Structure 1
Amino acid sequence: MTHRHIASAVVSAAAGAHDRCQQVCKKVSRRLLAFLFVCFVLSFLDRINIGFAGLTMMGDLGLSGTQFGLASTCFYIAYICCGIPSNMALARIGARRWIGSLMIAWGLASTCTSLATDATSLYLLRTLVGITEAGFLPGVLLYMTFWFPAAYRARANALFMIAMPFTAGFSSVLSGLILGMDGIWGLKGWQWLFVLEGLPSVLMGFVVFYYLDDRPQQAKWLDREEQQVLAQALAAERSDAGQGSGGRPRSIWSELLSPQILLFCVVYFCLVNTLAMIAVWTPLIVKSFNSASSNGVIGLLAAIPQVCTIVLMVVWGLHSDRTRERRWHLVLPMLLAAAGWILTALSAYPPLQLLGVCMAASGSYTAMSIFWTTPDQSLSFQARAVGIAVINAIGNIGSAVNPLVIGWLKDLTQGFGSGFAYAAILMILGALLALRLPIGGRVGLPATC
């Protein structure tokens, strides 16, 4: 056999392996992504519904903007503190049992937020929600690395993470309607909000116990060959990640304390500030330049940025995977979000202000879906569970700081303009730092993919 024939056979075999890996990944996507999407919808709904509850809760409980922001800060402090031990527990116990238990616990805690009577009780209840929900997102991000090779993870992350803008848009309409139930059975509208949006998480938690598999090797819906194709693709990546100089493996602590991982944390901190602002304050921001509108109309208007976000996330994630480029696919959406906040701050024309919020939401959520395709490439398989949780936890200090800072600035200036400037500055800083992330040029395909 000539060298040409040998080369042709090698190329043909590689193409066949790549096609087979694609088929398996599509099957995994169909099985997992829709289900995890629903779980994330419930998770994010219980996280952000306080933003809509605030439309009437602040008056009923006599809360200032600072106090209302502090309630979200309490949530994120608990979220930050519990994220790392929660991911360690998931790695030991398994995703099926751990994620199911978390959903039941946070669903009950979120439902009980309806019992808040003053600022202190609200702080306590939101802290409980933060403790119980802390492990879900970093846990699922870790779980995705068990099932999807890196070259397919941007589209997988995007399809999973559109749950965030979808929930924000869906909840904008739903929450506006639920607030209209004020007075039914003696409950305030915001109390109905926490009850009706918290209990579904409890029910879904029980479903998780029966639906998820911890690893591909345990999945009865994959045949033996499909399990082997996926295992080989993932094993090829694990052998390359987290190597020190000369190919020597590094200790877990040296990986977690490396300048590269700390840089990931800082970039995510800058990004999360805008994510938290969109999640918590969008209803009140829209209300600020549409003060005469009803809560139902505010809900519809607040849904518009989320629709734009869903479209951009899917298109951008697919483009990133097709081009196998990550760095500029992360930086450009961050700059788009910064431009959106600047437009919202400088304009006095409501349609332009709404356009700015659309840009900020679309850019920040799209950047997040791309961001989470990159840290695991700098971590060994052994350090991945803790590393992802560390980046998520430190980055989410921004979620703890943002509501308090924005609430304080709003009370100080009687508007959101200074808050928009604060978010824009951090997004520009984050984009500049993202240019230095150890992402590399293009994402390669595993040998079997």
Structure 2
Amino acid sequence: MTPAARIAAAIDLLAVLEEQCFAPAARRRPADAVASDFFRARRFIGGGDRRAVSELAWGVVRQRLRLDWHLARLGVAPTARLLLLARLLLGRGVDDHGRGRQAAEAAFDGSHYGPAVLDAAERRVAAALDGRPLIDPAMPEGARLNLPDWVLPKLSARFGASLAAEAAALEEEAPLDLRANLLRAERDTTATLLAGEGLEVVPTPFSPWGLRLPSRRPVTGTKAYKDGLVEVQDEGSQLIALLADARPGMRVADYCAGAAGKTLAMAATMGNRGKITACDTSAPRLEGAARRLRRAGVDNAERHLLAPGDRWAKRRAGSFDRVLVDAPCTGTGTWRRNPDARLRTRPEDLAELVAVQDDILGRASELVRPGGRLVYATCSLLPEENEEQMERFLARRPGFAPIPLGGLWESLRPGTAAPCAGPWMTLSPGAQGTDGFFCAVLERRP
């Protein structure tokens, strides 16, 4: 594809994303799913061109709040063409051979596969934006920090003077973290095997199983991955599995298992002994989990589809040593990986999710045996889904008591520093270099 054809394809992709992800009446599908469908319908776009088109479109998505501000300041609506034009002009060149208005206008060349030539109104926008910084001193705080207005006071209350640094960290490219599967090989052995395939990794600072690549690299085609030696998993997610402290011989429930990333990690700490049940409300997710479990060599796990009227939980009340609730949440802690989520997520979503979390916690807690533990986790940075959720639960359920992080960490990783202070584990890109996570461990009193 020519550079102009790539820009035309990026404009088409942005239009589809707007319709399906971001518009008020949109289905608000995840952008990666929409992009996957977009490219599947255009198989003539090769791998290198797909990456280039995706980079153009995602550059707009990542900076959409700021681009909207610039266009609103000029009194124009944010069309896909104008958004991409603005992104090219505000701090990003079309290619290595030129920057600025002349190069951006030249990209809209009117060729057979390229975008139509800029009209007079679009040229006026280009002239007004040419040479301006992407982050303008006149911007309100939300646009300047690239945070939606509704979430700004919540994150400000959590991070205080560190808000700007945390917001900047949420914009950085996330590293690629892997978890060494101890059912197959030790971490050092896996690192050596990856190095032999051209992937130089370093140990993660907190997880005893983690290996980190400084930038995203293709891993799923490696022999180490195909043989089940590694799984892609952010270090923060690994630490939640660590805090669950699932041991050999235990009965464990992963109540919101999804594709079973934490199920896999806990099965490894159990040494394939005992029984772990991966539960979810989605059959496709559990089917994907089955493939991962087989590849990892996990044979102490079963899957259970949670459905309305299901009596599975009632029959197993009070029978699990560990119950992990990796609750559905706003996902604000993953915005550096999922930049579209900061545009898709709305205030009403938070209220709905808090109610869902509350309901799930109540049901899952009934599964915990006396003396057993309930582990609650989210990938959210918002207090309503984390600390406040725990406060509400403990007020209603006096039979549960929190296990402070400090003592729990010392028992699991003696002689090492915990990733944070406080009673709960709270992680963020700026402070720990992980995605944003929250984890609370509660014990059911005998």
Common topology (TM > 0.5)? no
Structure that is richer in strand per residue: 2
Larger helix proportion of the pair: 1
Choose between structure 1 and 2 for higher RCO, CA contacts under 8 A separated by at least 6 residues.
Answer: 1
TM-score, length-scaled by structure 2: 0.26
